[in-house]
Amino acid sequence: VTWQSVLDVLFPPQCAGCNVLGTGWCGACAPSTPPVRIALPLLRVTALALYAGTARAAVLALKDGRRDVARALGNMIAPYIERGTFLVPVPTTAKRKRVRGIDGVALVAQAAAAIADARVVLALEQRAGDAQRGRTREERLAARERFCCDVASVAGRRVTLLDDVCTTGSTLQDCATAIRKAGGVVEDAIVVAVALREADASA
Ligand SMILES: [Zn+2]
């Protein structure tokens, strides 16, 4: 009997989409279609689903720190992680983490890495004052540097980024830039869901 199995009895996992007991994202609610692939400059993004319906529900549950949902998402993401890569979760804002006490994306990373023979490194940090983007050119440039990366965690290593949702892709790009500056190699990002404009979605 594992501690996890005891927890599962006391607090049964519940689907973020339809509330059925047994798993954080059930077979009926999880996407049955292949992942969505997007090319950003210098970065390939793999998304489990479009940001809508049950995928949106799963992302919101994750933001609430739901461990059962994080485990289910980790299971789904694991097959897309390159063997031996270092998995770097995009850090949640310091404020949100303080409120929830938990970083949902880091939980997904841990669950996925345990299955995929990868290692999680919490290499990125958000700089203070990251929340709003400025209007002047100087402020925009400062916002571009809103992540800093620990050199010892990534230098000379192959890194895969992980995040919950990708909208414009600017957060993933900023994280990739910080990792490259620290000497890491990053070509791939995996996200739970991607929010596309309608024109992109039909392309
Ligand atoms: Zn469900």
> In the numeric block, which tokens belong to residue 168?
């414009």
Q: How many CA atoms lie within 13 A of 72 on its CB side?
A: 27
Average pLDDT of span 136-160: 83
Asked if 57 and 203 count as a contact pair (C-beta separation under 8 A), the reply is no
For residue 165, what pLDDT is reported? 95
For residue range 53-85, list pLDDT tens digits in order: 999 999 999 988 899 999 999 999 999 999 899
pLDDT more than 90, % of the chain:
71
The pLDDT of residue 145: 79
pTM for this prediction: 0.86
Does residue 95 register a pLDDT over 70? no
pLDDT at res. 198: 53
> Ligand 1 centre from 30 Cα, in Å?
7
Query: Measured in Å, how far apart are the chain's first and last C-alpha atoms?
Result: 49
Q: From residue 64, how far is each of 22, 54, 107 by CA, in Å?
A: 19, 15, 12
Please tell me the distance between residue 8's alpha carbon and the centre of ligand 1 in angstroms.
17
Q: Which two tokens stand for residue 75?
A: 């299971």
What is the predicted pLDDT for the residue at 101? 72
CA of 112 to the centre of ligand 1 (A): 20
Tell me how long the chain is: 203
In the chain, % of residues over pLDDT 70: 86
Give the pairing of strands 185-194 and 158-166. parallel
Residues with CB under 5 A from ligand 1 (ion): 15, 17-18, 26, 29
C-beta of residue 197 within 8 angstroms of C-beta of residue 53: no
- Which sign does the torsion angle of CA 24, 102, 175, 118 carry? negative
On average, the pLDDT of the chain sits at: 88
| 137 in Cβ contact with 160 (< 8 Å) | no
Phi, psi of 148 (to 5 degrees): -120, 150
